Structure 1
């Protein structure tokens, strides 16, 4: 199977010129710390006037502030300036092997590639080689589209997963770094850890990567692995992080491609998107829960609304309050052991409790909670839902007046592919690949416009 049929090819990467401080250059994904403006204020202070990807992206913490159109224009202008002033230089064509160290893991291995957006579909029921793992919220795409449709370069934070239990694609590269060109090696800001990158230039190494991907994509092996029939189309890549950024790239390409034909269609740089691929079996990859917090509400009234929503959907729900966290935890463990229902701990100011849903409509507690919150928010415009990494952060935010936080359990990462194959996309923000500071940092760039 060719690289084209696999939907991948080696990227032509742009990296900052030698005198740029890479620690100030690389910043975490824009959809992190969305309820913590102090994080982004500290990043801005750290970066100052230095070249940085902070000036090439739109942190979502600022989405609701005035001046969004000007911020988008500034982003596109800065991209052009960095190219014109040679702040970004070609680092050679080829896959890049990535080794990321964080406060939580000694090593998480990845491979930087470009994927063919013709092989990707984010819609429910997709049968393409590359698919979303969570539902795409179309309302989240316009700000990203406004940036990308006028952007000369892309700066990715997308991470795709492969299900490679034999560790045949990425892991062998860890033993061959002496045969590759090291293209970066530095500490990431804000407790982000350390990152190293090595360009794969040897044709034999590239061929070995291709062969390994080809074996993963064979229909017979796919059917045997997941116990499915031949009617199930092969899923090679599942979007783990950056679902909406990848959907943005797809949307922009769909708008461009109608006027193209022949080689212009086949080779247009916007047809591709640069991503990092990680093996779901990598020991350095963990799935963390993404908790929910709701602002601008009376906590008890919201709980009552959830109970009523469940009743309308043929489920029974109730909530209990407890005097302390220990009592809450013991009761949650007791109810969970019984099974047959969802048990969702919550915190509202100084009050701790449990939301219990019996005979739930959905298999996952996150789906039950998210469907209720989505429905309730339709009639309460002031209500704001946010998605939080870390129990300590959730507890702190939920202690504020007019807020309630819900704790969720992590999903087993080994269930991801089979769940998506059999059940389709998961609810939005079902899982997180690591803690917030472990997310992919913006670092490498790639041109997405014709010369």
Structure 2
């Protein structure tokens, strides 16, 4: 690679990756499975996935679906994952590719096209801690307690498979979108239907010097401190936020923690290009027409709805909270539709075995509804270890799970994606699980691999 281009990408905290892709003849539909942190309250999804794949080579053998994290046999599953990673490389199921970006075009049930760019990011330029001013930044709070089981999966792995999606704030669409005009001249690496209603995905090798230089130039302009300060109306000494984590926040934090452990035993020279210093991600423009921010709802397990609601009102104190029930979901929806479009209060609709209702908080402490709710749920879980909360994509799943005896579901509103970068820059990280980039079936599917051990 040209030295100037190499130094340019290094300054931007990125690297052109050397990838591994399934060899010719591998059934790609069975190879690619959805992100491991999806369908965590629906084991039947993963059972159906395993049944469909049967004995075919698949990324299912290389990941730990989080629906099984609390089951027995975790250590054996991790050993099997590590063995499969080595085997897939040794027997040629995974074939090495020459260095290059991959331009990704994804079609889902909800959008005709969502464009992305596969690249590797420098974990030295990423900091998920509160108040971070790093080039690569978390958008939501990172729960440190969630990292140990994920570190255990990654620490001895020889490969990484990304479901991490980073965002850029590129309203002029200068970085990724221009690649669509060059697909006829780029090598097509894959083009197939994704399983379980995941849609269709195509990938093209973007490695020509001209395209690489154009990507570098466009990213440099986004990262210019003076342009950044003017764009967000902040002082020149404010740290540039170039890449914001959209999906996979805890996965990227896990990669960071594993790298910190590895680099402690390396010399400065050894650290420079060690593969674990980088993490493979898909880069997406927050202004992509195919990218939709969906709310992440909550379902609480092992609770009695009446006591939970009374406890919530008590927790809110002088925030003046109250709740009411409705005769049907239609009546609840009608009530919500008649609320004024703006106001200082928060309304939190819910469903339980007793029916539908809404909590009203007149003077909330938090800016977003998700913050108001999450603050209470965190306190509730700390008081009662039997209470569990799951984060749900899709109102239909909340309807189904929340209406079961002993459960309770809360519906949350979507966030305007155009506010994301400015909010993180000015206010810091959002409450965890504030938004989802699409529905569960639209999440990133595992496909490309990369070596993280020399």
What is the alpha-carbon distance in structure 1 between the residues aligned to residue 19 and residue 193 of structure 2? 20
> Does 2:267 match 1:264?
no
TM-score, normalising length from structure 1?
A: 0.98
> Structure 1 residues 338 and 261, CA, compared in 2 at 3 Å: closer, same or farther?
closer
> Does 2:219 match 1:195?
no
Q: Secondary structure at the match of 1:355?
A: strand
Q: Secondary structure at the match of 2:97?
A: strand
Q: Which moved more, 1:415-424 or 1:140-149?
A: 140-149
Structure 2 equivalent of residue 245 of structure 1: 251
Counterparts in 2 of 1:393-432, with a 5 A limit? 393-432=397-436
Q: Which moved more, 1:380-389 or 1:135-144?
A: 135-144
What is the alpha-carbon distance in structure 2 between the residues aligned to residue 337 and residue 132 of structure 1? 29
What is the alpha-carbon distance in structure 2 between the residues aligned to residue 241 and residue 384 of structure 1? 22
Q: Tell me, which stretches of 5 or more residues in structure 2 are unaligned?
A: 1-6
Q: Secondary structure at the match of 2:212?
A: helix
Of 309, 320, 324, the residue aligned with 2:315 is 309
Structure 1 residue 338: Cα displacement? 6.1
Structure 2 equivalent of residue 170 of structure 1: 176
Structure 2 equivalent of residue 120 of structure 1: 126
Of 205, 212, 218, the residue aligned with 1:206 is 212
Q: Secondary structure at the match of 1:288?
A: strand
Q: Which moved more, 1:279-288 or 1:377-386?
A: 377-386
Structure 2 equivalent of residue 434 of structure 1: 438
Structure 1 equivalent of residue 353 of structure 2: 349
Of 146, 153, 160, the residue aligned with 2:166 is 160
Structure 1 equivalent of residue 40 of structure 2: 34
Counterparts in 2 of 1:259-408, with a 5 A limit? 259-311=265-317, 314-337=318-341, 339-408=343-412
Question: In the alignment, is the contact (CA less than 8 A) between 1:91 and 1:183 conserved in 2?
Answer: no
> Does 2:46 match 1:18?
no
Structure 1 residue 91: Cα displacement? 2.0
> Does 2:450 match 1:443?
no
Q: Secondary structure at the match of 1:112?
A: strand
Q: Secondary structure at the match of 2:124?
A: helix
What is the alpha-carbon distance in structure 2 between the residues aligned to residue 12 and residue 30 of structure 1? 23
Stretches of 4+ aligned residues off by more than 6 angstroms: none
Structure 1 equivalent of residue 62 of structure 2: 56
> Structure 1 residues 406 and 179, CA, compared in 2 at 3 Å: closer, same or farther?
same
Structure 1 equivalent of residue 240 of structure 2: 234
Q: Tell me, which stretches of 5 or more residues in structure 1 are unaligned?
A: none
What is the alpha-carbon distance in structure 2 between the residues aligned to residue 88 and residue 32 of structure 1? 25
Structure 1 equivalent of residue 3 of structure 2: none
Structure 1 residue 334: Cα displacement? 3.2
CA distances 1:225-284 after superposition (whole Å, capped 9, x unpaired): 111111311000000000000000000000011121243110000000000000000000
What is the alpha-carbon distance in structure 1 between the residues aligned to residue 57 and residue 144 of structure 2? 32
> Does 2:80 match 1:74?
yes
Structure 2 equivalent of residue 3 of structure 1: 9
What is the alpha-carbon distance in structure 2 between the residues aligned to residue 223 and residue 404 of structure 1? 44
Q: Secondary structure at the match of 1:273?
A: strand
CA distances 1:38-80 after superposition (whole Å, capped 9, x unpaired): 0000001011111111111111111111111111111111111
What is the alpha-carbon distance in structure 2 between the residues aligned to residue 338 and residue 182 of structure 1? 48
CA distances 1:65-106 after superposition (whole Å, capped 9, x unpaired): 111111111111111111111111112210100000011000
CA distances 1:268-305 after superposition (whole Å, capped 9, x unpaired): 00000000000000000000000000011001111111
Structure 1 residue 191: Cα displacement? 0.3
TM-score, normalising length from structure 2?
A: 0.97
What is the alpha-carbon distance in structure 1 between the residues aligned to residue 342 and residue 32 of structure 2? 47
Question: In the alignment, is the contact (CA less than 8 A) between 1:335 and 1:343 conserved in 2?
Answer: no
Structure 1 residue 365: Cα displacement? 0.2
